[in-house]
Amino acid sequence: MRHLVKRSFSLAGHRTSVALEPDFWTALEGMALRRNLPLARLVAEVDAARTETGMPLASSLRLLALADARKAAQGVAQSGETA
């Protein structure tokens, strides 16, 4: 099992830390890069959106990374590509 990696961000004027597995950070960094956003901005957008659900930030980030991976996998399956 891989250890959690903690990163700190300033969200809505407050410092907060988020601990995720390295693979999730890698996925989120890739998403931010594809969207031409700094990782901190992507995290801030997720933080702002999650206030409606009350879900923890780490969980929201994991679900975002999972949704992005599923979307990518569907695109590969539809194009007929193989790994």
Q: What is the pTM of this model?
A: 0.85
Q: Render pLDDT for 62-77 as a digit per residue (tens, 0 to 9).
A: 999 999 999 988 877 6
Q: What is the CATH number of the domain that holds 30?
A: 1.10.3990.20
What is the model's pLDDT at position 1?
55
Higher model confidence: residue 42 or residue 54? 42
Q: What is the DSSP string of the chain?
A: -PPPEEEEEEETTEEEEEEE-HHHHHHHHHHHHHTT--HHHHHHHHHHHHTTTT--HHHHHHHHHHHHHHHHHHHHHHHT---
Residues spanned by the domain of 26: 5-79
Does position 53 have pLDDT exceeding 90, yes or no?
A: no
pLDDT per residue as tens digits for the range 20-51: 999 999 999 999 999 999 999 999 999 999 87
What is the total count of domains within the chain? 1
